[in-house]
Amino acid sequence: MDTQKDFSELVLHKGCYSKEENLRIYNKFFKNAPRYLFRAVDKKYNITKKILCDVGCSYGTNLLYCSEGSYGIEVIPGYASFARSLGLNVYQRNAVADSLADLPKVEVIWCSALLEHVDSPHVLLRRMHNMLGPDGLICVYVPTISWLAFLRKMPVIGKRFSGYIHADHINAFSAKTLRFTCERAGFETCEVSPFYPPPLNFLNFIPLIDGIVYIGKKIENWDYPKNSARKAAENSVGYASLERR
């Protein structure tokens, strides 16, 4: 399938819900897909040409544009069922708590708007590190706390700077803390950027609007610092605790 019409027919006729619900899902999630950030990252890193895992894939929107062998992980049964009804390969799993050991290694992991929700961001990052093959890339989007705090209180535009305080979010990040969090999970930073389009791309180094993307490369045989009480491991949490003496 190469056209939006093809995707429209697929969603409307193959979706597992009523025609009305399929249409609602199409208009909200598929009509203008993929979203700008996914397209911007793909333009620079060619992620749709590689085998990709979309962690927290929702209805599978991004997977329609990805290479054969790509798959998604989604915790909500209704989302996973809908994606599978379109012929997409989606595993209904909790990416933090359920076993991922049987899933194929991938070249790229896309994880958008999930890290701010999970109980243990570090465990999720370590698990994704273990899912990547050599030189694999991780692409993580999170809403961020703007360093210009007063913008959140401004009328009309304030909502552009307050996504991080959504009621379901239990973690909050800035560009610096996101970078540290990912690097401490075993990734070499390629860039941390909001991927603004021209003519605003000169602001990529001083992000203002809520939200940023971390691009990192898996470090092979990575381990925690020498004085750490943890050691990297291929297990359910991605590390083993060391006994202190």
- CA distances (Å), origin 102, targets 41, 85, 91, 209, 224: 28, 22, 11, 38, 25
Place of tokens 């069922």: 81
Cβ proximity of 161 and 146 under 8 Å? yes
Measure the CA–CA gap between 81 and 39, rounded to whole angstroms.
25
Cα 234 to chain centroid, rounded: 21
What domains does the chain contain, in order, with CATH numbers? 34-56+95-241 (3.40.50)
pTM: 0.92
Q: pLDDT 10s per residue in the chain (245 long)?
A: 456 778 899 999 999 999 999 999 999 999 999 999 999 999 999 999 999 999 999 999 999 999 999 999 999 999 999 999 999 999 999 999 999 999 999 999 999 999 999 999 999 999 999 999 999 999 999 998 876 665 666 665 556 666 777 889 999 999 999 999 999 999 999 999 989 888 878 878 776 667 899 999 999 999 999 999 999 999 999 999 997 65
> Which residue from 74, 55, 71, 73 is spatially nearest to 63, judged by alpha carbons?
71
